[in-house]
Each structure stands twice: as C-alpha cells, then as structure tokens.
Structure 1
Amino acid sequence: MTGTVRIVTARVGDVPAVMRVMEAAFDAAYGEAWSAAQLLTLFALPSARVAVAWDGDRACGFSAARMAGPESELLLLAVDPADRGRGIGQRLMDDWQAWAAEQGAEDYFLEMRADNDAIHLYARAGFSECGRRAAYYRGRDGVMRDAITMRRSGRNDRSS
C-alpha cells in the first residue's frame, strides 16, 4: 500500500477492478453484490456515476450513485476489507456528496441492511434513519434482516 489514495470517476475498463473489490467487500450470504452486467448499466446513464478509490494501481474501494431530480442515492459503497480503517469509506462518501451537490442535489439517500457495520460511517456523515423495511434481506442462514433507509439533507450546505 502506498498510502496515497486517489478517487476518480470510473471508466468501463475499471469494472474488473471494481468487481474484485465488490466480491471481497460484500458478504455473499446476503446477495447484495451486483454483477458486472448490473454495474455496466450505470455507465450508460448520464445521471449516474461510479467512482474508484485507487491506491497506486490497485482499486481499494468504490462508490456508485445516481441523481433523481434534486435527490441523490448512494447505490453501492465498498472498501476492500484489507483497506478498512484508512478513511477510504469517508473519502468515498465525501466524493459522492460533492459530485451530487455539483449536479444540484438537495437531499442524499442510501439504503442498507440494518446490521451492516457501515451504519457508523453513515451516521458520522450526518445521515439518519428515515425509513425501514421489515425483514427485507434474507441471509443464507435463513434469518431475515431489516433494510434501513437513511437520509441527509444538503439544503443547509449551500446557506453558509
């Protein structure tokens, strides 16, 4: 690890590197990871963006988001387990919200499994629960887990 992480907008050629991170980061027990074909659909949407965190020539994290009017939704965010604790998740969150603000976002949304440790990252970034889908995720262990929808308003960001 070089210690210098840069975040850039992904290109189609980056999909294999993003998929490597996705497969390492998402617990297969929940089926939350996207396929390469699903990820590629975002590149055709002018209202979507995939960003990759690079440590040298190795992808160590990524985010995928989209705009819908004045709202932006974080679709995916992942950091390679070997790179967690380095602030990469926070940098990807900041990058997403900066991009979305440039696109005119006033509100930011994301959805996650209720027992996902990333809830701490999202709470530190100013997100709070605004909805819940009971028993939305079924793990391979048969246990059902809620999905939490989180929101952060960006309206106050422009008033300073």
Structure 2
Amino acid sequence: MNAARARPAELRLRAGGADDLDDVMRIMTDAFPPCFGEAWTRSQCAGILPLAGVSLTMADHDQHAIGFALARTIMDESELLLIAVEVAGQGQGAGRLLVEDFIAQARAQGASRLHLEVRDGNSAVSLYQSAGFVPAGRRRAYYKAADGRRHDAVTLVLVR
C-alpha cells in the first residue's frame, strides 16, 4: 500500500509495522474469544513481521486503530494469516475493506492463488464467501482452545 486511502465515515487503511503491535494485540484480544484458540501471541506477530513478503495493514477509524490484516505473499501465492476488527468497530465495513485490500495487494504482487484458514463456524466465513472465497479443505482439530477442546479449520481459496 503506497499511502493511506480515504474511506467512508473516517475509516482508512494504512500500512502497519512493528510500532502497531500494541494495537494488534489489543484488537486481537478483543476480537478473538479465547475459547477457540485462534489468537497469536505477541512474539508470533513480532516474529513474522520482518519476514519477506509479510504485510500488516491497519484499519483506523477517527485515528484510532480498530482492525488489522496480516498477510504473506510468496511468489504466486498469498495467504491472509490474521484479520481482526475490535468488537466495537465491527459492522462499519473495516473487515470488508481489509479483505478487499488483501486481495488487491496480493494481485498487485502477482499472486494467483489466495487463501486463508478460518475456524469452522466463525461468522467471518460469510464475509470471505461474499468476496469470492470458497471452501477447499479442512484441518481437523486445528485450533486448540484453552479448555483443551479442538476446533476444525476450513481452508478457503479465492476463485475469481
């Protein structure tokens, strides 16, 4: 992303970096219920940021970070690793803008295969499907919750 882009209702996307880790962790803690085991640790997020092909995009509303997307593009493949919008900011279009931006950035970098994994039953599945993603596989018991229960992950790929 070359520059911050204006969006409706003071919502804008901008390139993120290591300085945004506090916001990433705050948003992820708020958006990901701990009962599913989907959230990454701070060290996992910090460790992936400097890797080749990794990008962090922040969604700001009134100059307050409300969401983010973490992606990695390698050669012709791009994966949406993490995406979250804080609960109070949901329903304002930030998630959709982050998904659309992920697709646009991946395509601009030459990716022809775009994919992501999401917990089976996560309400975000409808957002991904509306953007053109379709189920392509399942990882049984992929997420481990704090109480030891396991949850499947569904792999989605973009078909258009």
* Kept after mapping to 2: 8 A contact 1:106/1:153: no
Map Cα deviations across residues 116-151 of structure 1 (whole Å, 9 max, x no partner).
110010110100000011222233455432110000
Q: Distance in 2 between matches of 1:135 and 1:11?
A: 31
Residue in structure 2 matched with residue 158 of structure 1 by the alignment? none
Say which of 61, 64, 75 aligns to 2:81: 75
Say which of 111, 116, 119 aligns to 2:122: 116
- The residue identity in structure 2 corresponding to 1:107 is R
- In the TM superposition, what are the counterparts of 1:1-160 in structure 2 within 5 Å? 3-154=9-160
Question: Are residues 31 and 144 of structure 1, via their aligned partners in 2, closer, same or farther at CA, if it must alter by over 3 Å?
Answer: closer
* Kept after mapping to 1: 8 A contact 2:134/2:159: no
Q: Distance in 1 between matches of 2:118 and 2:159?
A: 18
Give the gaps of 5 or more residues in structure 1.
155-160
Q: SS at 1:94's partner residue?
A: helix
Q: SS at 2:37's partner residue?
A: coil
Q: Distance in 2 between matches of 1:135 and 1:35?
A: 19
Residue in structure 2 matched with residue 157 of structure 1 by the alignment? none
Q: Distance in 2 between matches of 1:146 and 1:18?
A: 24
**Paired residues, what number?**
153
TM-score (norm 1): 0.89
TM-score (norm 2): 0.89
RMSD, aligned CA? 1.6
